[in-house]
Structure 1
């Protein structure tokens, strides 16, 4: 929101963690500058020993804050400082890793020997933690220390936060880092982890304005590229799966598979029904897949043949549904039986194309593209009159009409 910031001021808002994070107790040339831009890395291929610096900073600040109260014997205030300093770290570790975590000892600052912990009454020095536990401690500590030092307006950048962290923990970690990020701050992550994507989708569905997705697919960063937020589509999720688990992604299914009308192979400039449905519902149902299988009879056949995999589908909690055009079907009882017995839904319009030319849809399109409100509606009424004079099947005439309207829009 700081429109007036220049480049150097923007850089001073970033806290960058590279994928080469080193939680070892050795030093690493970390600058003690009070400016955040001097405390971050210029290249993401550099080693990142910020853990030890954050740990020393936290300990030093605690000693500074508490020394006066210890001298005066004000132990109630001293205990409050202990709670404010260390309880947030312990609470975050419990949330992410489970179990009962406590910081039992600050360690030895002179020897760079970091925290000692109690985990479910077992004492552990930092070196005894697993690599995943160490990674969680590192990232949680970083968030808390940077906020204490530099305030709320910080952009936390983490390259591959999933490194060393077990799959079962990754979602918890991102959820906790998201919670720790101040309202005026931002959390930027780059990831190939499906668990982190799923957690991000969960946060997005709760509050779409709080999460944005950037897709680098097809981008050439050897030249200037403009990145804009995208909807979290099923295709994007599938690509992350492919990066994460390769060919195993084909064994994973969406929450629902909906067979619809339309040919999979279409002429140039035409689209199958599955493309329309995915585009319409991608923001609301990002993990539902639409598949064109032919005509309405083919939709029914696909639904029937899916009964052969009923047990597998039930085991994976995947719904199999059908979706067809209304066409000339006017029998409400037949539509109801299709709905109840065959799991086939029927559109309220003759075809999917008819949905696009409803007056409300045309007016909304004009509103979104700064066109005269009645422009498309008037054009459509003119095209409809021409359509009546054409010969052929109604579906073919409708496709012609849609293409005519599309030419007008272009």
Structure 2
């Protein structure tokens, strides 16, 4: 199940919030924003929209009292709240007031059961004897409100131990021996595997579960972990270690509930250092969230932002600095924009953090591949586009830039770099022109690659595109930020002359190898961007531009 859009009207912080354009393939939705920006209020909206009165649920009477609902949920007490969640394939959950049960669509019941939320207050300092396993199947141990503590872990521990005991003992009643390897593979190995991935496989500092003890009338159950040469009861672990174990055990015990579901977990990064943040989120998204489900989480942690930015099936929703007294629409943030990192590490302090390095702003995600080259004392930072690249260095001579050439003439490049010597411009149309340059591919030493044939194929395709590309030159140049500083554009005659030429190094400067070149002829070589960016030829070309 995947969410398509959300609307919250007169709900907590929001006058009228719309979240739209979430792609169907999205597996992770990351809400970012400063403290108090409204991220957790969205999760309250999920809980509000999907809560169903249940005699065994905690705090249900509190939720259903009209006066309490008005006080907690309504932004303006005299105006009714309204929440709508649209699910892909034309399904919808719509609720006006929590206590007006008659307003709920009975057909939406199955959808509502598939929303599973966890509040940020979920640390259980020690295991106690207060479990109620009947609550698990109904999710009746969920916090009613997102200001309440999430105490599910107690039930998870007892269920985990019960499941292992059942797997060990049931075969005895059939006159069989328990298959301890299968039990290990189902209950122990998944937890220890994730703990090793998150905390590392160094036995001196990593954790793994090695024992458990059943509860008795006089003492609670125990989970015993090994760390180095020590065996440590759960109660004695650090807050950060408990945070990870609480999350993982919940996924193990309730894995069936998480199928085809919307899972929303507030501040999963609580108490975690930066080095663990990305690893934890990656492990949960890629191992514990089924492909049929979607995880929503809120954070301003660097590791979470970095993972979401680099992951194709993740989107980032930015709640920062928005006036929710007015209607607002939030759509997925462009992940090429460096601004998504500002909450965790403002660009203004990049130079301070990397004072020993040359900071070079470049376009889109090219920084990932430029940094792979390992140019000494140089750090590449990706921003949205050539405009943002130029603006980063326009008034700051301490930083450098590297923008695509696009349709800039030789003369214009000379003038621009004379005025802004820290603003560097690629020799060729774009980043891909370097990757797919005949000399760069030849540098890989590929068996069966014919450089002359390949160069002739580029010329052939260029000739076929002349009539299509040339009319776009003038309009494309109108967007260049450099021309808004008083620098006068030259005639495009030299660009046209170069592009229509059959001389390779003349036309190749303006032939877009990213969008205009059909790479079918290169398919047998299984070339990747990472491999193409690893050659000495590529590195030498970029180094020349930066010296």
Q: TM-score, normalised by structure 1?
A: 0.62
Query: Retained in 1: the 8 A contact 2:402–2:426?
Result: no
Pick 1 or 2: higher relative contact order, CA cutoff 8 A, min separation 6: 2
List per-residue Cα deviations over 1:281-317 (Å, max 9, x = no partner): 44666942445479xxx97x97xx65xx8xxxxxxxx
Which structure shows the higher strand fraction? 2
Change (3 A) 1:360 1:132: farther
What secondary structure is seen at the aligned counterpart in 2 of 1:212? strand
Give the one of 339, 357, 360 matched to 1:257: 360
Deviation, 1:223, is 6.7
Per-residue Cα deviation, 1:117-159 (whole angstroms, up to 9, x for no partner): 2223421111221111111111111122221x42522332221
The verdict on how the C-alpha distance between 1:61 and 1:292 changes in structure 2, with shifts beyond 3 A counting, is same
Question: Residue 36 of structure 1 contacts residue 150 of structure 1 at CA under 8 Å; is this kept in 2?
Answer: no
Contact 1:30 1:49 survives alignment (8 Å): no
- Which whole-Å CA distance do the structure 2 matches of 1:396 and 1:55 have between them? 72
Question: Distance in 2 between the 1:48 and 1:229 partners?
Answer: 29
User: How many angstroms does 1:362 deviate by?
Assistant: 11
Alignment of 1:263-342 (within 5 A): 281-282=363-364, 287-289=381-383, 290-292=388-390, 306=398, 320-321=401-402, 329=410
2:122 — aligned with what? 21
**How many residues are paired up?**
315
Answer yes or no: is the 8 Å Cα contact 2:160–2:253 preserved in 1.
yes
Match of 2:212 in 1: 106
Alignment partners' CA distance in 2, 1:154 and 1:257: 42
Partner of 1:59 in structure 2? Answer: 161
Distance in 1 (alpha carbons) for counterparts of 2:118 and 2:187 = 22
Residue 183 in 1 paired to residue 291 in 2?
Answer: yes
How has the CA–CA distance of structure 1 residues 346 and 9 changed in structure 2, closer, same or farther, with 3 Å as cutoff? same
**For 1:96 and 1:188, how far apart are their aligned partners in 2?**
20
Q: Does 1:163 align with 2:270?
A: yes
Aligned partner of 2:192 in structure 1 is: 90
Report the counterpart of residue 215 of structure 1 in structure 2: 318
Residue 77 of structure 1: how far off its partner (Å):
2.0
Q: How far apart, in 2, do the equivalents of 1:215 and 1:152 lie?
A: 27
1:235 aligns with 2:235: no
Kept after mapping to 1: 8 A contact 2:265/2:297:
yes
How has the CA–CA distance of structure 1 residues 153 and 361 changed in structure 2, closer, same or farther, with 3 Å as cutoff?
A: farther
Structure 2 length normalisation: TM-score?
Answer: 0.48
Deviation at 1:330, TM superposition (A): 5.6
Structure with the largest fraction of helix: 1
Q: Does 1:344 align with 2:424?
A: yes
Q: Which runs of 5+ in 2 are unaligned?
A: 2-87, 94-107, 369-380, 430-465, 479-485, 493-547
